Amino acid sequence: MVSLFEHVIRMLRRLLHIFFPHGSSPQSYRRFMEAVHKRLVYDAKTQTVTVKKGGLAGARKYGPFYDSDFDFALGRYESEITAAFFRHCRPGMTVFDIGAHAGYHTILLAKLCGASGHVHAFEPVPENVECLWETLRLNRLKNVRVHQLAISDCEGEAEFRSSGVFDGFACLTRGGHGRCERLTTHSQILTVRTADLDTFCIKFGIVQVDLIKMDIEGAEMLALHGMSQILRRQHPVLILELWGSEHLSEAPRFLERLGYETRMLSVWRGFIQGAFAETANVLALPGPER
């Protein structure tokens, strides 16, 4: 059922397309719609977005307004990913949210795990971590632990390029998709701490990981190699974003050798920052013999 809120948005879009042809999306149109979206869901005084509908209705996200906030507020942010969470995440599970970003998925995972479960959220960008902590406080989520780490294939330090809070293309300079190199001069190189999940679990005494969500902008194979023992012994469900045709073929082969069956949840192809990009969201489940 379409809410009055969504009906108003549709009417505005129809009126604007009288003047702007469908598909043209000129800068003026995009700026206008972003301003409308922001006004409808964002409280500038408290710097929070409140979810209006869906399974997270009433939840709040702290931090500056971001492109994805409007879809998040309407309960339709990355719907194929959230649907997989609802199918595979259960109370009492231990879940890893790798690349927690603004916490869009962290909030839902924490809710699905319940008080008896645990979410470990990994996010290397300091500004994002601060916002994530405030988001968890606002939603009174006590079953989430935040780790300011970039997940890779080893412990140590690495260069990480970011243009600031909630940059959707921030990535490791080694292993990242390289898209962030095309950012404006506002981007900066940070030194971040890295960890591999096999060592991380030994250090923290985590004996069972049930589900891993990962969105780390091209460093997927580094992270997968760094969690190979977890995959062999604990067989968690994996929900991954893969960047580039090479990873789209390499990651499923790697996982199949470890007894996983993979399938595509969604595929996107298009131009980002002037260059062709291909990404896919993939679900990987342990085979029947597991």
One-character DSSP codes across 96-111: EEES-TTSHHHHHHHH
Report the side by side order of strands in the sheet with 42-43: 42-43, 48-50, 60-62
| Predicted pLDDT of residue 23 | 53
Q: Span 94-99, mean pLDDT?
A: 98
Q: Which range, of 133-137, 214-218, 238-242, averages the lowest pLDDT?
A: 214-218
Higher pLDDT, 1 or 15: 15
User: Domain boundaries in the chain?
Assistant: 1-77, 78-286
| Predicted pLDDT of residue 67 | 85
Q: Span 171-175, mean pLDDT?
A: 83
Higher pLDDT, 169 or 124: 124
Structure confidence by residue, pLDDT tens digits, 176-203:
665 444 444 467 899 999 999 999 999 9
Asked if 251 and 222 count as a contact pair (C-beta separation under 8 A), the reply is no
Of the pLDDT bands very low, low, confident and very high (cuts 50, 70, 90), residue 2 is: low
Of the pLDDT bands very low, low, confident and very high (cuts 50, 70, 90), residue 277 is: confident
Q: Span 90-100, mean pLDDT?
A: 98
Higher pLDDT, 180 or 126: 126
Backbone φ and ψ of 75, nearest 5°:
75, 25
In Å, how far are 19, 25, 100, 168 from 22, measured between CA atoms? 9, 7, 34, 26
Asked if 61 and 69 count as a contact pair (C-beta separation under 8 A), the reply is yes
| Predicted pLDDT of residue 183 | 46
| Predicted pLDDT of residue 184 | 46
Cα separation, 129 vs 166, whole angstroms: 10
Q: Span 215-241, mean pLDDT?
A: 96
**Res 14 pLDDT > 90:** no
The rounded percent of the chain whose pLDDT value lies above 90 is: 67
| Tokens linked to 88 | 């595979």
Higher pLDDT, 228 or 272: 228
Average pLDDT, the chain: 89
| Predicted pLDDT of residue 64 | 95
- Report the CATH fold assignment for 78-286: Rossmann fold (3.40.50)
| Predicted pLDDT of residue 177 | 66
**Res 110 pLDDT > 70:** yes
| Tokens linked to 256 | 């199949």
Range list of H helices, 51-163: 69-73, 79-88, 104-113, 126-138
Cα separation, 99 vs 227, whole angstroms: 15
| Tokens linked to 241 | 């974003």
| Predicted pLDDT of residue 13 | 64
| Predicted pLDDT of residue 218 | 87
Q: Span 134-148, mean pLDDT?
A: 98
| Predicted pLDDT of residue 274 | 67
Structure confidence by residue, pLDDT tens digits, 19-76:
555 555 567 777 877 888 899 899 999 999 999 999 999 999 999 999 899 999 999 9
